Amino acid sequence: MGSAPVNVCVSRRGQQAEGPAAVLAIGTANPPHCVHQDEFPDYYFRMSRSEHLTDLKVKLKRICEKSGIEKRFFHINEEILAAHPDFNDREKPSLQARIEMTVTEVPKLAARAAAKAIAEWGRPATDITHVVFSTYSGARSPSADLRLASLLGLRPSVCRTTLSLHGCSGGVRALHLAKDIAENNHGARVLVVCAEVSLISYSGPTDGCVDSVLGLALFGDGAGAVILGAGPVSGSERPLFETVCAAQTTVPMTEAAITTQFAPGGMEYRIGKQVPGIVEQTIRQCLLDVTGPLGIDVVTWNDLFWAVHCGGRAILDSVEAALGLGSQKLAASRHVLREYGNMSSAAVVFVLEEVHRRLTSKNADGETAEWGVMVAFGPGVTVEIMVLRATTNLEEK
């Protein structure tokens, strides 16, 4: 028995991977239904049968014009609302009908993004050992991760974890968890999937209430998938980014700034007007706490690439102002916001994909930094940060 602890230690070392986890592939997907932002107010008030609320419609038009968004993708459409007019009235119980739709649609959208990532990865889906799934759109168990595993043909022994209601910070939180899994399980290949379908929270406008349409001007539907693994297999796996370190910080006394809850009329969320200010006041110190030990400080912010969750134009402006970033440093985030809107947890995967495109681009919009930071904000207010190193051969540009 005296030798047992030594054997356990030896076994434990053998279970751990060598080196940091790396992003091995990225895939994204959206529903086919696209609505242009300049057409959205007319579309929304027609769809919700609220065209008599002319003053509120004018206000929504102004919000949309200033949003920095050009188009978004949705699962919900006029046909669905014709079959479920109760979705327009928050006072009518409709949660069960919404859940019935998301149970099917969220895994399907997730599978499309995951299939793209697996194809880019180049190995069979059965080589996936773990799944981390993030969504605010599910409210049933077994949850979307099990349905996704079935759609992709993953092994019955795949280890699944679901993150629920982390909101916009869910993507980086899922990647942080996947990093820990990959680095502590030799040979692990972790599929991270974030998928959001906003029909779970859709509602018609409340008379005269601007807050009832604010979120509707920002959010869209989408799914992002990333495969992480440590110790890439030479010749068959090509790392895109190394995940150097990650951290989560909760800003004290901000619990009420971003909230989400399920109610009989669907999921309700609130994003306070103070959130951009909270971000601007706290992001610099949160970053320094993570990057300082690596020798990265305020002097070098503009020497990094940035994958900031596109929570909205005001959020991106706050980050840019707080860190003194050049006008092009958040170009990837602004591009995703413009083309897709805020897709909650999935959006940061789209941003990471766009950053990679720019790192490998020969065009004028190319990025040349080797080191970078991924950031997202969610309920809490929670700040998720991950330091990345681009492993793509930048000399090929």
Q: Of 311, 244, 305, nearest to 280 (Cα)?
A: 311
**Crossing angle of the two packed helices 170-183 and 347-359, in degrees rounded to 10:** 70
Residues 340 and 334: their CA atoms lie apart, in Å, by 10
d(CA 366, CA 230): 27
Is-catalytic flag, 286?
no
Residue with tokens 């929304």: 44
At residue 54, φ and ψ (nearest 5 deg) are -65, -40
Of 200, 194, 148, give the one whose Cα is nearest residue 343. Answer: 194
Burial class (CB in 10 A: 0-12, 13-18, 19+), 385: buried
Catalytic-role residue among 168, 194, 286, 310: 168
Residue 60 tokens, joined: 């929504």
- Return the closest-CA partner of residue 133 out of 195, 43, 193: 193
Burial 110-130 (b: 16+ CB within 10 A, else e): bbbbbbbbbeebebebebbbb
Handedness of CA 201, 203, 208, 213 (dihedral sign): positive
Residue type, 163: L
Q: How many helices (H) and strands (E) are present in the chain, helices listed first?
A: 12, 13
Task: Extract the runs of DSSP E, i.e. beta strands, from 231-358.
Answer: 241-250, 258-263, 266-271, 305-308
Residues with a catalytic annotation lie at: 168
